[in-house]
């Protein structure tokens, strides 16, 4: 849920290799114009006279500026080439859906922007300075920008080397998942068993989607405002991550006392559809990213159990947050505590199942990963609420069933049974926890 779809669109606009590099490049042009103006005003002449090592001839200035401009263009080409190589490696070895997180990296964006700004700065000064002018301040700034660019490129290489390490990427995606969970649970009332009873009876009026796409955001506050304004109830049946076909319902309007058409228009404005899923507000998509890494690692072509184990460990920490707190309420009431909006949110059982079912199936017969799955459930059992213990107990039973079929070695089966027993013992302790 988002308070402002406009803010969300702005956040998405500044991603990628367009906005930040373009802004920095424009800043470089503006700085060039300012530096040349100051040079022509002779404002800093006393400073240059006091520091003779800053003096430079016209030919020397043009040579320095030309060298910097040429070098920056070469380095920009290398940075783009290195970035594309990293994208190729990440898509093949980690997961293609993680490419968006690489383009979101501010280090990549600022590196290209700084190099572009230095290039355009040097080129502009070189163009506007006359044959008899000595742009001493402009040259000094160009040298400072080139020096900064050099050290920033060194940091860019360091950051890129860290990003392609799969364990670091798993941890980064899970930090993003935990942040999404925290945003979902922040200041939200807990789900109550009788919340669904508040939905008014009757068929209601369906609001069909105007286009097809993935639901990437729902603006809850706007829906509440318009529901109160039109004295109605809005039941949103589309949730973030769902794919909607044009013409199918995205919401149902019930008991509308005002303008039903105006309320339907507000629903369309409050639900954002896109061509691809996004990590913003879509918890299951964040879970899928980590599961995808683990499934690739467990595939016969890669067979990297340790990467899968790292993914299981990180996922257990993220799922533990939900298991401690529970899902937020789907029901939103107005100031008079009258039900106004129902948002179809994900359930704890679905989140846990989305993570553990694919991993259990792919790890069948892999004793190392099966053991770590049992250990992960045991860790989550230490902090989960009692009403969620049944969910974990179900997954323990499924792991035991699969292991009984796929694990043939007696000692391996005994080791798996021991870990399952420890996890089951932790779940017994959780039964009375609230």
pLDDT(421) > 90: yes
Q: Which range is least confidently modeled, 166-175, 205-214, 347-356?
A: 166-175
Model confidence pLDDT, tens digit, residues 308-344: 999 999 999 999 988 887 777 788 888 888 889 988 8
pLDDT at residue 189 in the model = 58
Q: pLDDT, tens digit, for every residue of 118-170?
A: 999 999 999 988 777 878 888 989 999 999 999 999 999 998 888 778 888 88
Backbone angles phi, psi at 344, to 5 degrees: -80, 95
Query: Averaged over 184-189, what is the pLDDT?
Result: 64
The answer to whether residue 5 scores a pLDDT higher than 60 is no
Residues forming beta bridges with residue 180, ordered by sequence position? none
pLDDT of residue 345: 78
Asked if pLDDT for residue 305 goes beyond 60, the answer is yes
User: Can you list the alpha helix ranges (DSSP code H) found in 186-326?
Assistant: 220-229, 260-270, 283-298, 305-325
Where b means 16+ CB within 10 Å and e means fewer, 200-216 reads eeeebbebebeeebbbb
Closest CA to 353 of 322, 387, 310, 308: 322
The pLDDT mean for the chain works out to 86
At 175, the pLDDT band (50, 70, 90 cuts) reads confident
Please give the average per-residue pLDDT across 411-432, as a whole number. 90
pTM (predicted TM-score): 0.77
* pLDDT range class, residue 264, cuts 50, 70, 90: very high
Query: In 3D, which of 305, 309, 313, 325 has the Cα closest to residue 388?
Result: 325
State the pLDDT at residue 50.
67
Overall average pLDDT of the 217-236 stretch:
89
Run of H or E including 214: strand 213-218
Instruction: Give the pLDDT confidence score for residue 322 in this predicted structure.
Output: 86
What percentage of the chain reaches a pLDDT higher than 90? 42
Between 107 and 182, whose confidence is greater? 107
More confident residue, 87 or 354: 354
pLDDT at 193: 64
Predicted local confidence at residue 246, as pLDDT: 94
- The per-residue pLDDT for 244 is 93
Residue 372: its H or E element: helix 367-381
* Helix axis angle, 305-325 to 166-185, nearest 10°: 10
């Amino acid at each position: 849920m988002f308070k402002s779809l406009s803010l969300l669109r702005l956040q998405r606009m500044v991603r990628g290799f367009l906005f930040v590099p373009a802004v920095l490049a424009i800043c470089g042009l503006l700085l060039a114009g300012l530096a040349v103006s100051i040079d022509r005003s002779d404002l800093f002449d006393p400073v240059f006279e006091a520091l003779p090592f800053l003096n430079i001839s016209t030919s020397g200035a043009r040579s320095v500026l030309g060298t910097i401009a040429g070098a920056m263009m070469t380095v920009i080409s290398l940075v783009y080439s290195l970035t594309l190589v990293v994208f190729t490696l990440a898509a093949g070895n980690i997961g293609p859906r993680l490419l968006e997180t690489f383009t979101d990296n501010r280090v990549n964006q600022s590196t290209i922007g700084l190099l572009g700004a230095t290039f355009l700065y040097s080129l502009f000064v070189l163009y506007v300075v006359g044959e008899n002018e000595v742009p001493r301040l402009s040259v000094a700034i160009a040298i400072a920008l080139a020096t900064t660019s050099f050290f920033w490129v060194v940091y860019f290489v360091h950051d890129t080397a860290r990003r392609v390490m799969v364990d670091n990427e798993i941890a980064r995606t899970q930090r993003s998942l935990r942040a999404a969970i925290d945003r979902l649970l922040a200041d939200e009332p807990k789900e109550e068993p009788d919340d669904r009873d508040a939905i008014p009876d009757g068929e209601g009026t369906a609001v069909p989607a105007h286009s097809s796409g993935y639901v990437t955001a729902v603006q809850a506050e706007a829906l509440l405002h318009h529901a109160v304004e039109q004295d109605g109830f809005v039941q949103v049946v589309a949730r973030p991550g769902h794919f909607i076909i044009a013409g199918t319902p995205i919401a149902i309007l019930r008991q509308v006392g005002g303008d039903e058409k105006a309320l339907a228009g507000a629903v369309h404005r409050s639900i954002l559809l896109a061509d691809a899923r996004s990590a913003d507000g879509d918890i299951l998509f964040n879970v899928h990213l980590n599961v995808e890494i683990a499934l690739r690692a467990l595939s016969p072509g890669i067979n990297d159990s340790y990467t899968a184990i790292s993914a299981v460990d990180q996922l257990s920490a993220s799922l533990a947050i939900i298991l401690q707190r529970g899902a937020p309420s789907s029901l939103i009431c107005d100031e008079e505590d009258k039900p106004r909006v129902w948002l179809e949110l994900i359930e704890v059982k679905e989140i846990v199942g989305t993570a553990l079912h694919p991993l259990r199936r792919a790890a069948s017969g892999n004793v190392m990963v099966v053991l770590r799955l049992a250990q992960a459930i045991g860790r989550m059992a230490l902090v989960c609420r009692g009403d969620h213990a049944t969910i974990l107990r179900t997954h323990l039973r499924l792991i035991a069933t699969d292991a009984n079929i796929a694990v043939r070695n007696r000692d391996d089966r005994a080791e798996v049974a021991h870990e399952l027993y420890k996890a089951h013992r932790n779940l017994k302790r959780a039964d009375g926890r609230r």
